[in-house]
A = this chain, B = another copy of it.
Amino acid sequence: MNAGSTKGQPMIETRPQAKLLALLRDEGPLSRVELGERLELPRTRVAAEVTRLGELGLVEAAGPSASRGGRRSTMVRLGGDLRILGVDVGATSVSVAVTDASCEVLAYTVEDCDVRLGPHVVLGRVAALAEKVREQAPGRLLAAGIGLPGPVSFAEGMAVAPPIMPGWDRFSVRDHLGALLHCPVSVDNDVNAMALGERHAGVARSLDDLVFVKVGTGIGCGIVIEGKVYRGAAGTAGDIGHIRLDDTGPACACGEVGCLEAYFGGAALARDAMALARGGRSPFLGEALAHKEKVTAVDVGRAAEAGDVGAVNLIREGGKRLGQVVASLVSFINPGMVVIGGGVAQQLGHRLLAEVRSVVYRRSLPLATGNLPIVLSELGETAGVIGSAWSGTDRAFSLST
C-alpha cells in the first residue's frame, strides 16, 4: 500500500495528482468524469492518475455515480483510513485532534499546558496527546499541522522572536515534531490556523476573503485572501494586537506601551477585573475573588451575564477599542466577512460582538459594510485544530520535491 513512499509517506508525483486530492478533500467524492472536467484533463489521464493514487492508498472507489446518460462513471473518494493531526498550541493549553483526510474531526482532546515550558516539553505533550487521539481513531497518518501563539516563519516551520514563548525562537518545530510523529508537519501562527478552520469548515465556508479576529490571552488576526492565508512580506500580517492606540497607554507584554492588547484581551481583562474586584466596584467580581486567588475573563463574562455594571463596562470599553481597529481594517481591506473568535471572545459572546458591530458599522465606509457580516466563530475551540489539520493536508497533498 505504501508503494513509492519514504518513511510511510506517499510521494505525490504529478501536479494533477496533487490537484485531484485537494479537489476530493474540498468537494467530497467525485466521479471520474467530474474529475476530468474539473481538472481539464482527458479521461485516460484521469484514469491513470486515479489508478496510481489508488496504488499509493490515497484514493479509493466509492461505488457508481448517478447516471448522466451513457455509461456510469465510478465515484472516487479519499482513502477512508487516512488520518491527519491538527494541533493548536495556546498560551496556556494544548489541543490535538485527529481528522480524516477531509479534516472532519474524529477525536479531540485538550489539556492545560504552559507554552513557556519550552518546545521540548510542550511538543512532548503534543506527541503524547496525539498518540491518545490516534488510538480513538486508528488509521494511516499522512501529516500534521500545528498552530503556535506567536509570529511564525511558515517557510522555515518555526516561531521567530515570539514575545510570550521563551525557548521557541527559531527552534525547528517542523523537524522536531516531524521526528516525534513520523510524518510531515506544517507550522503556522495559531490565528492563521483558526481563520483557515472557519474558512473550510466553519461560518466562513466557501468565502474567499475574510478576516478572523482572535481575542484570547492576546489579540491577533488571520487574513484570508482568495481562499489562502495572507502572510505579508515578513510573515507578520494580521498582527493587530500591537497596533498602538495611544502613546501614553498601559504597558504591553511586548515591551511597548498603548498596544491594543494592553487595553483588551484576556490578560488585560484579568488585570482590570482584579482592579474592579479589589476596588469594590464590582460586587460580582468581588464575590468571585473572595473564593479564589484571581479572577479572569471567564469571570468577567459571567459577571456581565449577571448584569454586573462594572463587568459590562469592561466589555464595552474593550469592544470599543477592538472595534476601532477592526473598523480601520474593514475600510482598508474590505473583507467579505469578519469572524470574531478565540477563548475570551467565546466567554464574552454577543455582548462583545454587539459592541464591535456598533463601532464598525458606524465608522467604516457604507460601501464596505453594506453586505459585511460580523459574526462569532462557529467552530469555537476547535477552529485552530481543524485549520491546522487543513494545513497538514496541504502539506500531504503537495508535489514531492
Contacts and interface: CB of A to CB of B under 8 A. Distances in A.
19 contacts: A160-B367, A223-B332, A223-B333, A233-B334, A233-B372, A234-B371, A236-B331, A236-B334, A236-B365, A236-B367, A237-B332, A239-B365, A240-B328, A242-B331, A243-B328, A325-B328, A328-B332, A332-B332, A332-B333
The prevalent SS among residues of A at the interface is loop
For A230, A327, A329, A367, the residue with the greatest tally of chain B CB atoms inside 10 Å of its CB is: A367
A145 interface: no
A242 B240 CA distance: 20
A335 interface: yes
A380 interface: no
Nearest to A371: B234
A56 interface: no
Contacts of A367: 151, 160-161, 234-236, 239
B221 A332 contact: yes
Contacts of A232: 209, 333-335, 368
Contacts of A199: none
A238 interface: yes
A357 interface: no
A70 interface: no
A90 interface: no
Contact of A328 (B328, B335, B370): B328
A363 interface: yes
Interface string A134-164: 0000000000000000010000000011000
Given A243-B327, A327-B244, A370 B234 contact: yes
Interface in A296-353: 325, 327-329, 331-336
A246 to B, nearest CB: 11
Contacts of A331: 236, 239-240, 242-243
A363 B240 CA distance: 11
A225 interface: yes
Contacts of A368: 232-234, 236, 239
Interface in A29-73: none
Contacts of A231: 334
A243 B334 contact: no
